[in-house]
Amino acid sequence: MNSCRILAALLITAATLPAQSMPHIEKRGDHYAMVVDDKPFLVLGAQINNSSSWASTLPDVWPALADLHVNTVEAPVYWELMEPQQGKFDFANVDLLVTGAREHHLKLVLLWFGTWKNGQNHYVPEWIKTDPKKYPREQNDRGKLLDVMSPNSTSNLEADKHAFVALLHHLKEIDGSQHTVIMIQVENESGSVGSVRDFSPAAQKQFQAPVPSALARALHKDASGTWSQVFATNADESFAAYSTSSYINEVAKAGKAEYALPMYCNVWITYPVHALENRNRPSAGQEYPSGGAQQQNIAIWKAAAPSIDVLAPDFYSDDVPLFHSVVTAYDREDNPLFIPETGIGKNVGRYFFYVLGHGAIGFSPFGIDYTNWTLKKREIPDSIAENYALIGPLEAQVAQLNLDGKLQTAVEEPGMARQDLKFGDVVATASFGFPQSDGEAPPGTLDAHGRVLVAQTGPLEFLVTGFDASVSFTFTPAYAKSNNAQIEILRAEEGTYDNGIWKTTRIWNGDQTDRGLNFGEGDHGQVVRIRLHSLPLTGDLATH
Ligand code: DGJ
C-alpha cells in the first residue's frame, strides 16, 4: 500500500470503532497497572533497533517479534524524518508502524527521538543542526559547542514541542478510537554527554539565579539561594537535571493536551565505575548523560516533571545485585516500575520474573529484529521467548493481580535454591532444580535460571507457574501451632486463560503434586490453579 492509501485506511477504521477509555496507568494503594481498552494490560514488550522503523527494515522486524511472543513493540519516531522542513510534517513512517502493529496484533509504544537521543542531539532535523544561533547547543566549561541541544533555550523547547504536538495530533486522528499506540516515550535517554551542564552565557545566567522556590520546597531544602548555595557540590548536575526535566515536562504536557497518552522517560542509569582509577563515583556527562533521571536525580525529576508518568530505567548489565538495586530505586510509591530496555544477556529471563514480583507494568529487551544488528543469525533469546509464551495468555490476570498487590515471584540465585514467599499465614516454598530428594535441599539449576510466580486468588487459592522448580504450600509454623492447622491440597488444575476465562486441561495429582507442584525441566508453559484447605494438625475429631 502506498502511504496515502495507508492513511485513508487508518482514518476509516478510526471512524468506525466504538469509543473506549484512553490507555492509562491506574494506581491502587502502592500498586500500578496499565489499562488498555478498559482491561489491565501487562506490556510484554521488545524494542526494535534504532534504524529499524523503516519500510525497508520493518519486514525483518515483525517475524522476530512473533518469535519472541511479545504483545507490544517499542519503535522510534525520528524527528529529522517527521519534520524535514520546519513546519512540514511527514507521518508516513508513523503510519507504517501503526498499520504494521495492527496487522500483527500488537500494541505500540512510540519512542520520540527528538531533542535527545542517548544524551546527544543526533535526531534533530537538519534545519536545527545547521542553525546553532537560533537553536543553541550546550557549551562545555571551555565554551566548546557540543552535539547536545541546550535545555536552557526556549527556541529549542518550542521547536520540539511543536513537532511533538503535531505527532500527538496525528495519533489522535488515526488511532484515537483504536488505541494501538498505548504509550509514548518522550525523548530517549535525555541529559548531556560531554559536559555536566550547559555553560553558555544564557545558561550561566540561569545558573546564577536563585533556585526556583517550588523545587526547593519539593526537595525539602529550606535554603533559598543560588544553585551553588543550595546544592553545593551537586549544583551543576542538579541544575542540569532541573533544566532537562522542566523542558521535557513542557513537551509532554503540550503533547498530552493534544492527546492524553501515558508518557514516560527512559533513563541511561548511573552504573558503578569498577574499572576507573582514583574515582569512586562516575562523572556526570562522562559515564552517563548529565541531568537525566538517574537514581540520584529522581527527586528533582518527580518535582519538575509531573506530566511524565513513569521514570523508567534502561538496564544493560549481567550484575544481578545491581539490577535489584536499580529496581528498588525506581519502584516507588510515586513511580510505576517499567523496564523499557534491557540487554539480552544471560540473566534477562530472571530479570523479567524479578520485576513481575515488584509489580512492574512492563518489560522490554532491546534490539529485537532480524536486521542482523543485535540478534545475529536470528538467535532469539530463549529465556525471554519462553517467559512471554508462558505469561502471554495470563497477561491481563497478571496485571490485575499486581494492581491488587496479590502477586509474588521467587527467582533463583546461585546458592539460594529454596525460597519462601509469604502470603499472610500461608507460605509458598519454591525449590529450584531437579531431581529433588525427600529430606534434602534442592540441587538448584546449573545456571541458576529457576523462577516461580505465585498469586493469591482467594484465601486458600493460588495461581502458580514457573520454570524448573517445585512449589509447595504450608501454614507458617506460628499459625499452624496456634491454630492446630495444616494445609492440604483439594484440587490442582492445570489450564490456561482463554479471553479471561479459565479453561482446565487436566487435574494434577500423585507424582505431579505429592512433593509440591512440579514445574519440571522440559515441561515449560504450565499454569496451575490450586485450591487448598485447612485440616486440623492433630486431635480426635470423632463426633460424640
Ligand atoms: C540505549 C538507547 O536508549 C537505545 O536507543 C540504544 O542506543 C541502546 N542503548 C544501544 O545499546
**120 pocket-lining for ligand 1 (C-beta < 6 Å):** no
Report how far ligand 1's centroid is from the alpha carbon of 126 (Å).
Answer: 22
Query: Which range, of 124-138, 142-156, 261-275, 465-479, averages the lowest pLDDT?
Result: 261-275
CATH topology of domain 3-12+32-394: TIM Barrel (3.20.20)
**236 pocket-lining for ligand 1 (C-beta < 6 Å):** no
DSSP classification of residue 22: P
Report how far ligand 1's centroid is from the alpha carbon of 112 (Å).
Answer: 13
**314 pocket-lining for ligand 1 (C-beta < 6 Å):** yes
**160 pocket-lining for ligand 1 (C-beta < 6 Å):** no
pLDDT digits (tens, 9 = 90+) for 454-486: 999 999 999 999 999 999 999 999 999 999 999
Write down the pLDDT at residue 520.
85
In this predicted structure, the answer to whether residue 544 has a pLDDT above a threshold of 60 is no
CA dihedral 169, 170, 172, 173 (to 10 degrees): 120
pLDDT digits (tens, 9 = 90+) for 500-522: 899 999 999 999 999 999 998 76
- Minimal-distance CA residue to ligand 1 atom 6: 50
Of 55, 175, 60, the C-alpha closest to 110 is 175
Ligand 1 pocket mutation pick from 50, 77, 294 by most atoms within 8 angstroms of CB: 50
**123 pocket-lining for ligand 1 (C-beta < 6 Å):** no
Report how far ligand 1's centroid is from the alpha carbon of 118 (Å).
Answer: 7
Of 397, 323, 335, the C-alpha closest to 360 is 335
494 pLDDT tier (thresholds 50, 70, 90): very high
- Minimal-distance CA residue to ligand 1 atom 2: 118
Ligand 1 pocket mutation pick from 111, 268, 287, 314 by most atoms within 8 angstroms of CB: 314
pLDDT digits (tens, 9 = 90+) for 96-119: 999 999 999 999 999 999 999 999
**74 pocket-lining for ligand 1 (C-beta < 6 Å):** no
CB burial of residue 523 (10 Å; 0-12, 13-18, 19+): exposed
> Are 178 and 172 within 8 A, CB to CB?
no
Write down the pLDDT at residue 461.
98
CATH superfamily of 408-543: putative beta-Galactosidase from caulobacter crescentus (2.60.220.20)
Locate 136 and state its grid cell. 543553541
Spatial distance between the Cα atoms of 450 and 436, rounded to a whole number of angstroms: 14
Instruction: Delimit the domains of the chain by residue range.
Output: 3-12+32-394, 408-543
Mean pLDDT of 143-147: 98
Q: Ligand 1: which atom is nearest the Cα of residue 189?
A: 3
Report how far ligand 1's centroid is from the alpha carbon of 374 (Å).
Answer: 11
**286 pocket-lining for ligand 1 (C-beta < 6 Å):** no
What's the CA angle centered on 366, arms 37 and 275, to 5 degrees? 140
Spatial distance between the Cα atoms of 125 and 123, rounded to a whole number of angstroms: 6
**317 pocket-lining for ligand 1 (C-beta < 6 Å):** no
Mean pLDDT of 80-95: 98
Report how far ligand 1's centroid is from the alpha carbon of 295 (Å).
Answer: 18
- Minimal-distance CA residue to ligand 1 atom 5: 50
SS3 230: helix
**In the β-sheet with 39-41, what is the strand arrangement from edge to edge?**
24-28, 31-36, 39-41
Spatial distance between the Cα atoms of 495 and 393, rounded to a whole number of angstroms: 10
What pairing do the DSSP bridges indicate for beta strands 72-78 and 181-188?
Answer: unpaired
Locate 16 and state its grid cell. 468506525
Report how far ligand 1's centroid is from the alpha carbon of 369 (Å).
Answer: 14
CB burial of residue 296 (10 Å; 0-12, 13-18, 19+): middle
In this predicted structure, the answer to whether residue 278 has a pLDDT above a threshold of 70 is no
Ligand 1 pocket mutation pick from 341, 364, 371, 373 by most atoms within 8 angstroms of CB: 341
Of 102, 256, 82, 267, the C-alpha closest to 174 is 102
